[in-house]
Amino acid sequence: MSTITDTAGNTNEHDHHDDHHHGAPKGIMRWLLTTNHKDIGTLYLWFAFIMFLVGGAMAMVIRAELFQPGLQIVDPNFFNQMTTVHGLIMVFGAVMPAFTGLANWLVPMMIGAPDMALPRMNNWSFWILPFAFLILLASLFMEGGGPSFGWTFYAPLSTTYSSDSTALFVFSVHIMGISSIMGAINVIVTIINMRAPGMTLMKMPMFVWTWLITAFLLIAVMPVLAAAVTMVLTDKYFGTDFFNAAGGGDPVMFQHIFWFFGHPEVYIMILPAFGIISHIIPTFSRKKLFGYASMVYATASIALLSFVVWAHHMFTTGMPVGAELFFMVATMLISVPTGVKVFNWVATMWQGSMTFEIPMLFAISFIVLFTIGGLSGLMLAITPVDFQYHDTYFVVAHFHYVLVTGAVFSIMAAVYYWLPKWTGKMFDIRLAKWHFWCSLVSVNVLFFPMHFVGLAGMPRRIPDYALQFADFNQWISIGGFAFGLSQLIFLALVIKACRKQGEPVTDQVWDGAEGLEWEIPSPAPYHTFDTPPVVR
């Protein structure tokens, strides 16, 4: 697709910063003070993985409680805190930082930039994140408990009826938002301003394109989340009535503001996944991506449509019929560009010389399972039937198919795909196969039966359920425990890879991989490009 010509040749004598070429500094200070995009990418990815395990442990508590009907292990208030913090951690602590970590590692290498555009701010936007989650997790141990109103923190659950510690929740969300906005500004400026000569917009790799659009969404909606939590704070502590009808406000207004943030947010968590899959499928099909331009336009369409569909989360709040119809139709429109993407991936594989290495296994299961999640999303978009499905386990099944077998599988695919480039060594393929097959089977045992209990009317976020749901819930819990354990295989594999165990790999790593990042050495040098490569 593109070749590098190094223009560095005669410019080294003007180099004011020889120390940049000495590789990574040593010790803990390297990580605390770093301005290096690869270091910061690694920090983001490890943080996301740790948070994934913490949030996963909370899911284990939920599934243990739901193993049998009746209240078994935890009291309902603690159960509510587990569902709430599980959601917050997985969204803001696992999936989003993992994608930001991948962007840090990959975007500069893919566009021929030496680093991110604003490297010190990059460090700041990472290091405030662990503090934000420290606050959130610490609030669980306060008197009255932590947040227990669901990750969507609907008023009045988060205002009138929430625990004392809600102020800490509010400020920790503010820090997460600041982190995301700074990270997004960095990505967007890097992509717009730091591309190597010849890297025109329509030559950019799909991962870069999807992240450019994701970053725009982040800057547009994270501030709206900040406004929403601020109003929750003043409603709860300072006597305002934004979400209280007695003062002329409306609790439903909270849902409108929240979902104006929340719906673009779910695309923030899936667009980079689309980019990743658009890299892996062509590599292991040994064909160019089918319909590159249509992929770009489809991504942009999805992003723009995401601003006008938010109220499909609120069909049962008593909106006028005209609004219900508008949001139904707008939501269903999104299936068109999404369908274009799935079509293009399948068309890329069509008549390709396919091989099934680990990243490809994850990518193909992404396409199949994400599409299942997309189809259940279409069902939920139909207003009249949503009245039946709303707040049932069918919704839980839907968004876990798009977020776990969608976003999380794509992140794992990305890690397997680029890990050899990062470490210079092939990961342990035997462990990886175990990880893939255990995850694939258990994740479906975990989430597929949720469709059935949901359609049969089992409500979400309740620690108890009617007896007829017992068998399915036991299966779901067993699948959940198995999926959780399977991730420990991944942990072992990543630790091994970070200790640089394994066979050395070539620069290209995968037969058929194309792009600037595969033309630099493996492992990628600490500083990639001193002067811009020329892309032809």
Partner 1 sequence: MEQTQYEKYYVPEQSWWPIVGAVALFLIAVGAGLTVIEISNDESGFSKYILFGGLAILLVMIIGWFRDQINESMSGLYSAQLGRSYRQGMAWFIFSEVMFFAGFFGALFYARVISIPWLGGASNNAMTNEVLWPTFEAVWPLLSTPGGTETQAMGWFGLPLINTLILVVSSVTLHFAHVGVEQNKRQQIVVWLAITIGLGLIFLALQGYEYYYAYDTLGLTLQSGVYGNTFFLLTGFHGLHVTLGAIILIVLFGRILKGHFTPDEHFAFQAGSWYWHFVDVVWLMLFFFVYIL
- Residues 308-347 contacting partner 1, CB under 8 A: 320
Whether residue 523 is preceded by a cis peptide bond, meaning omega within 30 degrees of 0, is: yes
Measured from the CB atom, is 273 or 516 closer to partner 1?
Answer: 516
Q: Considering the rule CB under 8 A, would residue 135 count as an interface residue with partner 1?
A: yes
User: Nearest approach, Cβ of 419 to partner 1 (angstroms)?
Assistant: 24
User: Nearest approach, Cβ of 221 to partner 1 (angstroms)?
Assistant: 7
Q: Considering the rule CB under 8 A, would residue 17 count as an interface residue with partner 1?
A: yes
Q: Considering the rule CB under 8 A, would residue 128 count as an interface residue with partner 1?
A: yes
* Burial tier of 272 (Cβ tally within 10 Å: 0-12, 13-18, 19+): buried
Single out the segment in contact with partner 1 by CB under 8 A; choices: 116-124, 307-315, 422-430, 494-502. 116-124
Cα of 247 vs its chain's centroid, Å: 38
Pairwise CA distance, residues 182 & 127, whole Å = 12
Q: Is 180 a catalytic residue?
A: yes
User: Nearest approach, Cβ of 412 to partner 1 (angstroms)?
Assistant: 28
Single out the segment in contact with partner 1 by CB under 8 A; choices: 94-102, 120-128, 329-337, 478-486. 120-128
Q: Which of residues 205-234 bind partner 1 (CB under 8 A)?
A: 219-224, 226-228, 230-231, 233-234
Greatest pairwise CA separation for the chain in angstroms: 77
Q: Considering the rule CB under 8 A, would residue 203 count as an interface residue with partner 1?
A: no
Measured from the CB atom, is 170 or 396 closer to partner 1?
Answer: 170
Query: Judged by CB under 8 A, which of 107, 188, 404, 494 binds partner 1?
Result: 188
Say if residues 478 and 68 touch (Cβ distance below 8 Å).
no
Say if residues 517 and 422 touch (Cβ distance below 8 Å).
no
Q: Which of 37, 38, 63, 86 is catalytic?
A: 86
Phi, psi of 67 (to 5 degrees): -60, -40
Pairwise CA distance, residues 406 & 278, whole Å = 13
Q: Is 179 a catalytic residue?
A: yes
Query: Judged by CB under 8 A, which of 6, 32, 75, 336 binds partner 1?
Result: 32
User: Nearest approach, Cβ of 75 to partner 1 (angstroms)?
Assistant: 23
Q: Is 267 a catalytic residue?
A: yes
Residues in a beta bridge with 116: none
Nearest alpha-carbon partner for 54 in 178, 158, 144, 138: 138
Q: Is 203 a catalytic residue?
A: no
- Give alpha helix (H) positions in 140-270: 166-193, 206-237, 251-268
Q: Which of 460, 464, 519, 530 is catalytic?
A: 460
User: Nearest approach, Cβ of 113 to partner 1 (angstroms)?
Assistant: 8
Q: Considering the rule CB under 8 A, would residue 33 count as an interface residue with partner 1?
A: yes
User: Nearest approach, Cβ of 197 to partner 1 (angstroms)?
Assistant: 5
Check residue 70 and report its DSSP letter. S
Pairwise CA distance, residues 290 & 202, whole Å = 14
Q: What is the CA radius of gyration of the chain?
A: 23
What's the token pair of residue 35? 């301005």
Active-site residue set: 86, 115, 151, 179-180, 263, 265, 267, 278, 312-313, 338, 341, 460
